[in-house]
Amino acid sequence: MRRIEKLLDEVEKPARYLGGEMNTLERQAQEGDLRFAFCFPDTYEVAMSHLGMKILYDILNNHPRTLCERVMMPWIDMLEGLRREEIPLFSLENRTPLRDFDVVGFTLQYEMSFTNILEMLDLGGIQVKSADRAEDAPIVVAGGPCAFNPEPLAPFIDAFMLGDGETVILEVCDIIRTLREQGAAREEILYALALIPGVYVPRFYTAAYHEDGRLASFVPNREGVPAAVTKRIELDLENAPYPEKFPVPYTQVVHDRIVLEIMRGCTRGCRFCQAGMLYRPVRERSPEKLFALAEKLVENTGYEELSLSSLSSGDYSCLSDVTKGLMERFQQKRVGLSLPSMRLDSLVKQSLENTAQVKKSGLTLAPEAGTQRLRDVINKGVTQEDLVRAVTDAFQSGWSAVKLYFMMGLPTETDEDLLGIAELAKTVIDCYFSVPKAQRAPGLRVTISTATFVPKAFTPFQWAAQDTLEEIRRKQQLLREALRIKGVTFNWHDGELSLLEACVARGDRRMGEVIYAAWQKGCKLDSWNEHFKFDKWMEAFADCGLDPAFYASRHREYSELLPWAFIDMGVTQKYLQLESERALRGETTPDCREDCTGCGLRRFEGVCAQ
C-alpha cells in the first residue's frame, strides 16, 4: 500500500487510481464470496463513461456472495511505475491484485483495445495465454460487441459471453463458484461454462485452414459442446436490472453525466452497422420507468445532465413525452438533457425544444453518405430533404453548432459521393442563413467528421473489401480540399488505425498470434494516437507470416466459411447475403417495425411479438 501511495504522488492523474468514489463498493470479500474483476481495457476516463460496466457492476454487487471490483488500463506513467516497483495491477475498490480474483472479465468495446487486455493480464500476474494458466488461476471471461468475432482473442480468453449480459453473467459466476467449492478441475469448469447457452469456450473447438489461408473447417472437439453458440437476449427490458446509482468519478471523464438507456436494438437495417444487427430486437423502457430511474439517479449522483441512450433515440416511441416529462421534473434543479446522434428523418423538433430549456449541447446528425445513391446502397433511408428539415428545426430552436457524421470508403463509393459531403455542408450553411437573424443563435459551427468504413462481422458488408491505405489517404485529401469552407471544420480518422481495425474485426485465430507479437513489441493503448505504433504492427504481421490485406482489403465470396459463422446471433447469414445483394443493386429495405423483412429473429420465442 505504501508503494502504491508513493506511485500516486508521481503520476499525472492520480484520481484514475484512487477508488473510493461515491456509490462504489464499500466492503471486503468474505469467505465464500466469488471475487469478480470487471476490467475495462482502456483508461479510467473512458471506462467510467461506459454504461454496460455500470449496469453489470450493480448487478454483480447486488447478488449474494458475489463481489465485483473495477480494474482499468493504467496510463503509461502508472504502467512504468507498477513494473518498476513490481506491483501487480490492482482493483480500485480494495486494491486487490488481479491474480487474486476468481473471475477476471473484460468488456470488448473496440478492436484496438485488444493489446491492452494482454498488458493488463501480464501486469496483473496472470498468464497471458489461456493454455498456460495454472489450475488456481482466475477464469478469464469476456463479452461485449467485439465478442461476436471472438477468434482473434481465442488464445487469451477462457470463455466468451455472447449477447445481453444481465442474466448470463450471473449464471457464469454461479457455475464457477459452485465448481470451485467442489474442487473441480479447471478443464471441467470450462466445460460446464461451454454448456451454458450463449457461452463460447475456444479450447473446445478446432479450426483448420486451406492452403490459401481461408478457413476450411471449425468444429467442436469435445462431446456435448454445441456446434453453434446462440446469443443471449434480454426480452423484458422494462424489468431488466438497471442501477439507481452510478459511481461518481473524482475527475472529469468522457461522458460525465447520467445515462438513461431508453431502448435497446434498432430496426433500421443500415448495412454497415454492426450494432444495429447485433442488438436486435428493439425493446423499450416505459416513460414511467425512465422517470423513476432518473429521479433516483439525480438524487444519488448530483449530476446536472441527463443523456438518453440508444442506437436510434429518435425512433423511441415516447421520445417527446420523455423529454418533456424529464424537463418538467428537473428544470428547476437546472439538470440539462442531451440527445445522442439522431437520424435525420426522426421527428425530433419538439424534443429539441424540450432539451433546450436548460442548456443546449451540440446537435449531432448522421447522414453517413454524401449522395442519395450511396445512402440507398447502405440502406440509410434518409434524404436530403430530411437533412434540411432536421437542421432547420434545430436552427429555429436555437442551435448554432451542428456535427455531421459520414463514412468514407463504403462499398460502391465514387468520388462524386465524396464530393457530395461538401455539398451537404454548404446546404446546412444555407439552412442556417434561411432562418431570420432575430430567431437564430449567433456563431454557426458546422463540423464534418468522417470515419473510414471497416467491414464488420454479422453485417451485410461483412464480405466487402476495405479500401487500401493508399486509397484511404487519397480520399481524405480529396475531402480536405473540398471542405475548405468558411464555418466548416473537417475531422477524419487515421487510415492506418482503420486498416488494423478491419484486420482484427474479420480476423481468425491466427490474428491472435499477431496481437501477441505486437504486444511483445510494445504495442498498447493503440487507440491513442501518441502511442499507436503502426510499424510495430506491420512487423508483427511479417513475423507471423500473415498479410494485412488478406483480412482487410480482400473481398470474400458468399461461400467462404467465416471465422464467426458458428455463432447464431439471431439475424441469419441468408438474410445478410440478401441485404448484400440488394446493396449492390442500390435497393432499400424498409424498417422492420413497418413490415417484417425476414431477418430470422422470429425463430426465437417471444421475439418480434409486436
Query: How does pLDDT run across 295-342, given as a tens digit for each residue?
Result: 999 999 999 899 999 988 888 999 989 999 999 999 888 888 887 655
CA–CA separation, 113 vs 79, rounded Å? 16
Residue of 358, 234, 238 whose CA lies nearest to 288: 238
Better-scored residue on pLDDT, 332 or 575: 575
Give pLDDT, residue 347. 46
Run of H or E residues at 106:
strand 103-107
Does the residue 74 lie in any domain?
yes
Percent share of the chain, pLDDT over 90: 82
The confidence band for 345, taking pLDDT boundaries of 50, 70 and 90, is low
C-alpha torsion 256→262→264→266, nearest 10: -100
Q: Please tell me what DSSP assigns to residue 90.
A: B
**Which of 175-179, 245-249, 334-338, 461-465 is the least confident region?**
334-338
Q: Which segment, 124-138, 254-268, 390-404, is predicted with the most confidence on average?
A: 124-138
311-322 in b/e burial notation, b at 16+ Cβ within 10 A?
bbbbbbebbbbb
Q: Is the peptide bond before 241 cis (omega within 30 degrees of 0)?
A: no
CA–CA separation, 435 vs 441, rounded Å? 10
**Which of 163-172, 301-310, 515-524 is the least confident region?**
301-310
CA–CA separation, 447 vs 296, rounded Å? 35
**Interval 340-362 mean pLDDT:** 55
SS3 514: helix
C-beta separation of 435 from 396 below 8 A:
yes
The confidence band for 388, taking pLDDT boundaries of 50, 70 and 90, is very high
71 bridge partner residues = 39
Mean model confidence pLDDT for the chain: 93
Does the residue 499 lie in any domain?
no
Give pLDDT, residue 181. 96
Query: How does pLDDT run across 190-226, given as a tens digit for each residue?
Result: 999 999 999 999 999 999 999 999 999 999 999 999 9
CA–CA separation, 104 vs 88, rounded Å? 14
Does the residue 242 lie in any domain?
no
Does the residue 202 lie in any domain?
yes
Give pLDDT, residue 350. 54
Residue type, position 355, single letter = T
Give pLDDT, residue 217. 98
Residue 370 CA, distance from chain mean position: 25
CA–CA separation, 110 vs 275, rounded Å? 12
Give pLDDT, residue 341. 58
Burial of 88 (0-12, 13-18, 19+ CB in 10 A): middle
Does the residue 598 lie in any domain?
no
Better-scored residue on pLDDT, 107 or 32: 107
The count of structural domains within the chain is 1
CA–CA separation, 39 vs 109, rounded Å? 12
Give pLDDT, residue 595. 79
Find the domain containing 27 and state its range: 2-163+165-230
Contacts by 514-520, CB closer than 8 A, 24 or more apart? 514/540, 514/541, 514/544, 514/546, 515/114, 515/115, 515/118, 515/152, 515/153, 515/540, 516/118, 516/128, 516/129, 516/155, 516/156, 517/543, 517/544, 518/115, 519/115, 519/118, 519/119, 519/128
Query: How does pLDDT run across 70-125, given as a tens digit for each residue?
Result: 999 999 999 999 999 999 999 999 999 999 999 999 999 999 999 999 999 999 99
Does the residue 540 lie in any domain?
no
Give pLDDT, residue 358. 45
**Interval 148-152 mean pLDDT:** 98
Give pLDDT, residue 182. 97
Orientation angle between helical segments 495-505 and 510-520, nearest 10 degrees:
140
90 bridge partner residues = 97
As a three-state string, the secondary structure of 325-372 is: HHHHHHCCCCCEEECCCECCCCCCHHHHHHHCCCCCCCEEEEEECCCH
- SS3 percent helix, strand, coil of the chain, rounded to 5, is 40, 15, 45
C-beta separation of 49 from 255 below 8 A:
yes
C-beta separation of 229 from 199 below 8 A:
yes
Does the residue 604 lie in any domain?
no
Better-scored residue on pLDDT, 170 or 396: 170
Give pLDDT, residue 172. 98
Does the residue 133 lie in any domain?
yes
C-beta separation of 441 from 401 below 8 A:
no
Percent share of the chain, pLDDT over 70: 95
**Interval 503-521 mean pLDDT:** 98
With a cut of 60, say whether residue 18 has pLDDT above it: yes
CA–CA separation, 56 vs 115, rounded Å? 23
